Each structure stands twice: as structure tokens, then as C-alpha cells.
């Protein structure tokens, strides 16, 4: 869906529901109308807050970041949801993953990816519900890599080729901005993000980041754009 659709459709729907409520104040369907109108407005609210986050040109607050801490902090936000849905988090940290970057933005990336994994598992009728989070460094010690994989149903064919484009979603309540935002933040860190699917895991996202900011100049950024998956930007 286009940006205009994402925002205009739910507003139009909510408006007509509220109009109906005004025309028939005593009607039996009032409660249902109100419920749907609120749902539609919540959808707009979510789209707009995602959009603002996506569009905002924030200066990067670059400092020394330990990716293990970032991942743990992101995992923590899903602890209750995971417990409720019987989802197990499996960690495999081969390194601390220290790098130069913006901790808040990197946390946002981790939350979006883990959130997608949890979303995919929650509705799925799979026997094993697992999110595997791995972290390591390359042999040269110049890059940190992160892998977030799940045992869910995998990526829908309809969205597979446009995963990282804004507003591409297969979920009823999704805005489709999560992965677009991940891509943007990773780009700005001179890193790469790619989708992988293997026999054992249905969906896996692999990220790499240069550890040192001096290697994240225009050249590195260009490299990540050219090499990244999912359309042009």
C-alpha cells in the first residue's frame, strides 16, 4: 500500500463510522462502531509514529557500543510476550561485539527484527517456537555480525522480494515500516542487512557492521547499498 493509502483509508473508515454513530445515536451497533473506529485510528497512530521515526533525520549519537548488551536489552522487552506464547530465546554469543555506533538506533533494529520473529511465531502452528540470536566477529576483527533467526512459518512469497521497502507487510496490523527502518539505520552505520532462509530455520536476518567508524565513510555506505537485499534505494 502507498503512504497515502496507509493513512487515508483508516481515517476515512473511522470518519464514516463516527458519522453513522452521530446519525443514529441510540443504535444497537454503536459499541461495535466505536470499537472499529478506535482500531482504525490506532492503526493511523502507529503508521504515523513509525513514519516520523523513519523520516526523522536524527544525528547519530556515536559512541562505543557493546552489541551483546544491545541484544540483551532488546530481548528483555519481549520476555513476557515470549513466555506467554511459549517462545524460547536461544543465545549464541561468540564475542561481545563492541563497535562504534548509536546504541538507541541499534537497539531499535534489534527490537524490530526480534519483534518480527516473535510476530511470526505467535500466530504459527509450529511445534518448535524458537528465536535464535547469534553474535560474532569476523576473523580479521574488523566487523561484528548478528544473526536473528526463527523457526516460524517463513517469509510470504508476496513480500519476499520487497521486504525492505516501506509499507510492505503481510500482517493485518503491520505498517511495513519495521524492516525499512532497519535498513536505513544499518546503512547509516555503514553495515549490511540481508535475508537468508535455510532448511533448519524459516527466516533469518544477518547484519554486519564495521567496528570502526573511520571505515564507515561514503565508500562503505555505498558498498552496503549496492550489496543489500531488496530493491533499489
Do the Cβ atoms of 10 and 43 come closer than 8 Å? yes
Q: Which of residues 109-138 bind Mg ion (CB under 5 A)?
A: 116
User: For residues 164 and 176, what is the distance between their CA atoms, to the nearest angstrom?
Assistant: 8
Parallel, antiparallel, or unpaired: how do β-strands 203-210 and 88-93 relate?
unpaired
67-76 and 103-122 helices, crossing angle to 10°: 40
User: For residues 233 and 231, what is the distance between their CA atoms, to the nearest angstrom?
Assistant: 7
Residue 203 CB, shortest distance to Mg ion, in Å, is 12
Whether the CA torsion 19, 20, 23, 26 is positive or negative: it is: negative
In DSSP terms, 130 is beta-bridged to: 88
Give whichever of 160 and 213 is closer to ligand ATP, judged by the CB atom: 160
Residue 45 CB, shortest distance to Mg ion, in Å, is 16
What x-and-dash track marks residues 70-99 binding ligand ATP by CB under 6 A? ------------------------------
The answer to whether 150 contacts ligand ATP (rule: CB under 6 A) is yes
Q: Which of residues 163-222 bind Mg ion (CB under 5 A)?
A: 178
Q: Answer with the entry of Mg ion, ligand ATP, none that 170 interacts with (C-beta below 5 to 8 A by kind).
A: ligand ATP
Q: Which one of residues 170, 197, 215, 233 is an interface residue with ligand ATP (CB under 6 A)?
A: 170
Give whichever of 104 and 156 is closer to ligand ATP, judged by the CB atom: 156
Parallel, antiparallel, or unpaired: how do β-strands 88-93 and 130-137 relate?
parallel
Site residues for Mg ion per CB under 5 A = 116, 178
Amino acid at each position: 500500500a502507498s503512504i497515502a493509502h496507509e493513512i487515508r483509508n483508516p481515517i476515512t473508515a473511522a470518519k464514516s463510522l463516527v458519522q453513522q454513530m452521530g446519525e443514529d445515536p441510540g443504535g444497537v451497533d454503536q459499541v461495535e462502531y466505536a470499537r472499529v473506529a478506535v482500531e482504525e485510528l490506532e492503526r493511523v497512530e502507529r503508521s504515523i509514529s513509525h513514519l516520523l521515526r523513519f523520516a526523522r533525520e536524527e544525528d547519530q549519537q556515536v559512541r562505543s557500543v557493546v552489541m551483546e548488551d544491545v541484544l540483551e536489552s532488546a530481548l528483555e522487552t519481549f520476555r513476557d510476550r515470549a513466555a506467554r506464547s511459549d517462545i524460547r530465546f536461544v543465545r549464541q554469543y561468540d564475542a561481545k561485539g563492541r563497535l562504534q555506533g548509536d546504541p538507541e538506533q541499534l537497539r531499535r533494529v534489534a527490537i524490530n527484527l526480534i519483534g518480527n520473529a516473535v510476530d511470526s511465531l505467535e500466530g504459527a502452528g509450529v511445534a518448535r517456537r524458537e528465536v535464535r540470536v547469534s553474535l560474532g566477529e569476523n576473523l580479521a576483527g574488523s566487523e561484528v555480525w548478528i544473526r536473528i533467526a526463527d523457526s516460524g512459518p517463513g517469509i510470504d512469497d508476496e513480500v519476499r522480494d520487497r521486504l525492505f521497502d516501506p509499507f510492505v507487510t503481510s500482517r493485518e496490523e503491520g505498517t511495513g515500516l519495521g524492516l525499512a527502518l532497519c535498513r536505513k539505520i544499518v546503512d547509516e552505520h555503514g553495515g549490511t542487512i540481508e535475508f537468508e532462509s535455510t532448511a533448519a530455520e524459516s527466516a533469518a536476518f544477518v547484519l554486519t557492521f564495521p567496528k570502526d567508524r573511520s571505515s564507515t565513510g561514503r565508500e562503505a555506505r555505498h558498498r552496503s547499498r549496492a550489496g543489500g537485499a531488496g530493491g533499489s534505494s
